Chains A and B, each alone.
Chain A
Amino acid sequence: MSKLVITDLHVTVDTEDGPKEILKGVTLTINDGETHAIMGPNGSGKSTLAYSIAGHPKYTITGGSVTLDGQDVLSLSVDERARAGLFLAMQYPVEVPGVSVSNFLRTAKTAIDGEAPKLRTWVKDVNAALEQLNLDPTFGTRNVNEGFSGGEKKRHEIAQLELLDPKVAVLDETDSGLDIDALKIVSEGVNRFRAREGKGVLLITHYTRILRYIEPDHVHVFVDGKVAASGGKELADELEANGYDKYLSKAASV
């Protein structure tokens, strides 16, 4: 089972002029096995939503709730959320100097499973995950995200997704900065994950092109800190044709 329920979520960030509200009441339910796409213009609050679900300390929740299979997510620490089954593929993955990818992956897997993975199968799994994402096997010895190209960082995020096997994955613009081949490779990785039993995906994107490879069950238009419209796949086609203008003016007049 994996059901993520976001209800009337309000989030602020601290600025020099005091707190600024970024999320203004987000309501969204991702049922067992569903893939939802969130599309919205720059600065509409998509990353804020992703980070707030994951528990980044920069964001303050001022109202609303998030539950995963009925469990209150917002009362959990960042690592507890991950262990509860949430995964965030970041728009800008962070460099961790001196920490090798293989050490990082093993430590994360051990934390998530509550026990160290069996050495033999683990090495095989890691190599397979890296290979499927077209990452060189020597990647394991490199430091996490250090000197990775933009595309390598994104592929590394998806390798983690496959290895850590969460219940719900939030993918924040995993498609941005990828050329068409890398986009296909990343999409295949996400689709392999989706093919597993009951996995939820929240796919945040700016462009419709990734939706050609990862077919969403629902599409939401995100404007000014909330969901402005929801629909099926056809909503993405409409956005492709007409852009966000219609929703922006609506948001402005409200």
Chain B
Amino acid sequence: MTVTTDSVRSALEQAPLDKVESHLHPAGSYDVADHLVPTGREEIWRFTPLKRLKGLHADAPLDGRNTRATWNAPEGAKVGVVTGDEATSLRGVSGWAPNTRFTARILAEVPATLLVDVPADTEVSEPIVIDVDGTDADVTSGAHVVLRFGTHSKAVVVLNHTGSAAVAAVVEVVVADGADASVVSIQDWADDAVHLSHHQARVGRDASYKHAAISFGGDVVRMDANVTYDGPGGSAELLGLYFADAGQHIEHRIFADHTAPRTKSHAVYKGALQGEKAHTVWVGNVLIRKVAEGIETYEENRNLVLTDGCQADSIPNLEIETGEIEGAGHASATARFDDEQLFYLQARGISEKEAQRLVVHGFFNDLIRKVGVPSIEERLLATVEAELAKNVLKELS
């Protein structure tokens, strides 16, 4: 499915001239009282199983101790925990005001901020890796993380989540003018983990930002990955790879808010589902504001359903307020194995299981290459293999 001229035209006609009113991106506020506890009927919460969130969306304590964070500090980068005024000054540093209760609570209540600073004109050759290991899924906690990439700097930050925990997190990313920033967030949690996160990036003039959301583990994982632009010429590549097993809920939402002219957003999310009640959600919001002339956007979500009993929801949403765009499109598809592909491979002597394995690896391969961090690519290939072993490759006994 690609966007047709008709739907673009009707979007143009409906669009108000200046202010943007949309239930998909409610107005922000730092005041927790402005955000009601969600009921599940709200557009932005309607897919999320609130009951399984351990109260993170509502009023669960955010000060529990349930994770251990460790990191490397490659030359050129500064990583550390800041508190007090310094932490306070970093709240909303991405130029955004919270649009949900949990994000408002994190900004108001969590005392410390994990800050990664890449100074201007610095190129950090090795990925900066922050390991967050969960220790207890019955304890709830909140985290505020700031990733700051100085002008013309270049670095890769990996947030690696493992173990058991119930965590709500806000990750604010500032990509200064001309910087080249990559953020990879891996959700490789244990089966009982709950992870509610909001990643908010502000992309500077002529800067490039790559965000990769990779979700395999956890009971409920929901991530909103949002981008706004600070000046013309910024580009954002939003990548996502997820694999949901029986009973898992994995939800990814993106919001590319084209707030400046000649900016780009390109989103590719791919997921596989296997097992009873595996549920994935992808909501791709793109807003092209009136000022955002000459922008390009493309978003794509593909889901591969490997067994019966799974559900993949996929909702691209493009709102256009200017007629002057270079290109805008979207695609969304959810499919089972293609019989013709399997037949072709089997007709060359390849067994059915092996053929399925090739097709699934093939489905993810180009995306894995796009992540562009060699150590992560290897790990992802291995993880896909491990996920396949659970179902597709399991010999029927």
Contact A111 B358 (CB under 8 A): no
Which residues on B sit within 8 Å (CB–CB) of A81? Answer: 347
Which of A57, A103, A143, A160 interacts with B348 by CB under 8 Å? A160
Which of A88, A95, A107 interacts with B350 by CB under 8 Å? A107
As a 0/1 sequence over residues 350 to 364 of chain B, the CB contacts with chain A under 8 angstroms (1 = contact) are 111011001101111
Which of B349, B361, B362 interacts with A111 by CB under 8 Å? B349
Contact residues of B: prevailing secondary structure: helix
Give the residues from 150 to 166 in chain A that come closer than 8 angstroms, CB to CB, to chain B.
160, 164
Which of A58, A97, A164 interacts with B362 by CB under 8 Å? A97
Give the residues from 346 to 397 in chain B that come closer than 8 angstroms, CB to CB, to chain A.
346-352, 354-355, 358-359, 361-366
Contact residues of A: prevailing secondary structure: mixed
Determine whether B344 belongs to the interface, using a CB cutoff of 8 Å to chain A: yes
Residue picked from A83, A90, A103, A108, most chain B C-beta under 10 Å: A108
- Nearest chain-A residue to B362 (Cβ)? A98
Contact B351 A111 (CB under 8 A): yes
Determine whether B341 belongs to the interface, using a CB cutoff of 8 Å to chain A: yes
Determine whether B345 belongs to the interface, using a CB cutoff of 8 Å to chain A: yes
CA gap between A144 and B338 in the complex, in Å: 14
Determine whether A217 belongs to the interface, using a CB cutoff of 8 Å to chain B: no
Known: A96-B359, A97-B362, A103-B358. A111 touches B341 (CB 8 A): no
CA gap between A54 and B340 in the complex, in Å: 13
CA gap between A96 and B362 in the complex, in Å: 7
A93 → B minimal CB distance (Å): 7
Determine whether A56 belongs to the interface, using a CB cutoff of 8 Å to chain B: yes
Which residues on A sit within 8 Å (CB–CB) of B351? Answer: 79, 111
Give the residues from 64 to 102 in chain A that come closer than 8 angstroms, CB to CB, to chain B.
77-79, 81-83, 87-88, 90, 93-99
Give the residues from 315 to 352 in chain B that come closer than 8 angstroms, CB to CB, to chain A.
339-341, 343-352
Residue picked from B341, B344, B349, B350, most chain A C-beta under 10 Å: B349
CA gap between A112 and B346 in the complex, in Å: 11
As a 0/1 sequence over residues 102 to 118 of chain A, the CB contacts with chain B under 8 angstroms (1 = contact) are 01100110011000000
- Nearest chain-B residue to A95 (Cβ)? B341
Which of A56, A94, A107 interacts with B358 by CB under 8 Å? A107
Contact B354 A111 (CB under 8 A): yes
Residue picked from A55, A58, A96, A111, most chain B C-beta under 10 Å: A96
CA gap between A77 and B347 in the complex, in Å: 9
How many A-B pairs have beta carbons closer than 8 Å: the answer is 79
Contact B359 A99 (CB under 8 A): yes
Which of A58, A82, A103, A144 interacts with B347 by CB under 8 Å? A82
Which residues on B sit within 8 Å (CB–CB) of A56? Answer: 343
Which residues on B sit within 8 Å (CB–CB) of A87? Answer: 347
Contact B350 A99 (CB under 8 A): no
Contact A111 B343 (CB under 8 A): no
CA gap between A99 and B374 in the complex, in Å: 19
A134 → B minimal CB distance (Å): 22
Which residues on A sit within 8 Å (CB–CB) of B361? Answer: 98-99
- Nearest chain-B residue to A107 (Cβ)? B350
B356 → A minimal CB distance (Å): 12
Which of A83, A93, A97, A103 interacts with B349 by CB under 8 Å? A83
Known: A96-B344, A111-B348, A164-B349. A57 touches B362 (CB 8 A): no
CA gap between A112 and B347 in the complex, in Å: 10
- Nearest chain-A residue to B345 (Cβ)? A96
Which residues on A sit within 8 Å (CB–CB) of B358? Answer: 96, 99, 103-104, 107
Which of B339, B343, B345 interacts with A104 by CB under 8 Å? B345
Contact A57 B343 (CB under 8 A): yes
Contact A54 B349 (CB under 8 A): no
B354 → A minimal CB distance (Å): 7
Which residues on B sit within 8 Å (CB–CB) of A79? Answer: 346-347, 349-352, 355
25 A-B contacts, Cβ less than 8 Å apart?
A56-B343, A57-B339, A57-B343, A77-B346, A81-B347, A82-B347, A82-B349, A88-B347, A93-B344, A94-B340, A94-B343, A96-B345, A98-B361, A98-B363, A98-B364, A99-B359, A103-B358, A104-B345, A104-B348, A107-B358, A108-B350, A111-B350, A112-B349, A144-B344, A164-B348
Pairs A-B, 5 closest by C-beta atoms: A98-B362, A82-B349, A98-B365, A108-B348, A78-B346
